[in-house]
Each structure stands twice: as C-alpha cells, then as structure tokens.
Amino acid sequence: MENALAINKKIHGEEHAYVADSYSRLGAVYHSMGEFKKAKELHDMAMMIRKKVYGEVHTAIAESYSHLGAVSSSIGEFNTSKDLYEKALVIRRNVYGEEHGAVGANYNNLGHVYLNNGELKQAKERFEKALTIMKKIFGEDHPDVAAGYLNLGIVYRCMKQYNLAKEHLEKALMIQKRTELGEKNELTSEMYRNLATVYDSTGEVHKAKEFYEKAMDTAKQTCGQKHRLAIYHDLQRLHLPKD
C-alpha cells in the first residue's frame, strides 16, 4: 500500500483524491496493527487532502472522521471519538437521509464508544437507532440485524436488566443461525459468551457453563487465541455446586 501511495503521488501530485484514498487505506492498516499514532497521522493527511478536494460536506470527509473516531476510541479518547463520529453522522444524514446503511453503522459506532465509556443510556439509544435502520434496510434475517440485537443485549447485561439481555441475545442468536453466515463464526461465539455471562450473573451456573462451552466450541473454529483464552478464563472462574 505504501507503494501505491508513492505511485499515486508521483502521477497525480499530493492534493488528489486518489492520494487521499491511499493515505486512508494505509491508515486503516496501521490501525489494525495497533500502531495508532501512525494511523492517526495518515488519516489526518487523508482528511486534509479531502477537504481541499471536496470541501467540508462529502462522504469521503465522513469516512475520514469515522476513521479518526475509531483511532481515538482505540486509545481511550472517548470524548474526541464521539465528536468525530458525530461530525461523520451529520454529513451522512445530510447526504443519504436517515435510512441508509452508512447512517446505521455510524449510530452503531457511536453506541460502542458510549458503551466503552460506561454511558449505557446513550449507548442504548444509539444502538436502538442503528437496529431500527438496519431492519428497515435488510429485513429481520441479516447479520447486521443480529449484531444489533447483540449490542443491545450487551447494554442490558451491563445495566443488569438480565431478562431483557437474555431476550435480545437469544433473538440475536436465532437470527444469526438463519443468515448466510450460519452458526460457525466469531459473532455467534460472542453471543453464546454473553448469554453465558447473563446466566452466571443470575446464578444459573450450569446454564452458564453450557453456553460458555458452546462459545468455546465455536471459537475453536472461528476465533483467535486471545478470544479463546478469555472464554477459558470465564469457564475457570465458574463456581459450580458439587453434586
């Protein structure tokens, strides 16, 4: 990708949309590698060029705000992340209207930032908006809709509203199994794990064990070692009554 950036700069000059796109893609790579400072520098470069090319209101500007919001969230700068995602949301709503996948994804990103910052009411509101949009676009049986129910289930679990948490997590799991992704994927493992945590919190430890084991079985086929270790530690800390 660095070669692509160099080629685009040589062909088009520094202030060109293709160059901005190359900076943006390279920034996403560095973000995925955990090199957040470098990722931010590259996304800042992409933003600067895009503003010169497109002005302030364009979907490419919204994309840069979202990338910068994600980087800020990764380093724990949640207030900065919220501001950046809100700027992206304003642009996307102006360009697309309310019922668009990019708008739904933006609400979802905001929900995660609020959740990570412990602002559960605000997280719930954003996740509900995201789910409403995704259901209107995709119908009920879609991975993004399943993910929306999962997100709300996690919020309800954090709120200790365990019946609502179970309801949403079971709904997420039911939809996920009906989608083209099926049961064997990382998202399904996360659904099982959250259900297990809810049952553990309500003292239903045998049920919790059952779902942790389902989470582990799925994770062995779909997830990395870090995720599998987390489930293993969850199982280890369960206090099962002796027969």
**Among 19-28, 52-61, 177-186, 188-197, which is the least confidently predicted range?**
177-186
Examine the pLDDT at 198 and tell me if it is beyond 80.
Answer: yes
Give the CA dihedral 218, 224, 227, 230, nearest 10 degrees. 100
Is residue 61's pLDDT more than 70? yes
Residue of 173, 127, 123 lying closest to 146 (CA atoms):
173
Tokens found for residue 91:
């642009």
Q: Give mean pLDDT, residues 14-31.
A: 92
CA atoms within 13 A on the CB side of 8: 18
The reported pLDDT for the residue numbered 2 is 67
Instruction: Find all residues with CB under 8 Å of 177, minimum gap 6, and list them.
Output: 183, 188
pLDDT one-digit tens code per residue, 161-194: 999 999 999 999 999 988 877 777 788 999 999 9
pLDDT of residue 92: 97
Percent of the chain with pLDDT strictly greater than 70: 93
Q: Are 198 and 207 in contact (CB under 8 A)?
A: no
- For residue 114, pLDDT over 60 is answered with yes
Q: pTM of the prediction?
A: 0.89
pLDDT score recorded for residue 243: 52
CB contact burial 160-170 (16+ within 10 A = b; e otherwise):
ebbebbbebbe
Q: What is the mean pLDDT of residues 141-164?
A: 96
Mean pLDDT of 123-148: 96
Residues 6+ apart with CB under 8 A from 189: 215, 216, 218, 219, 222, 223, 227, 231
Question: Which stretches of the chain are DSSP H helices?
Answer: 2-12, 17-32, 36-54, 59-74, 78-96, 101-116, 120-138, 143-158, 162-178, 186-201, 205-222, 225-236
Which residues lie below 8 Å from residue 163, measured CB to CB, with a gap of 6+?
A: none
What band does 75 get if pLDDT is binned at 50, 70 and 90?
A: very high
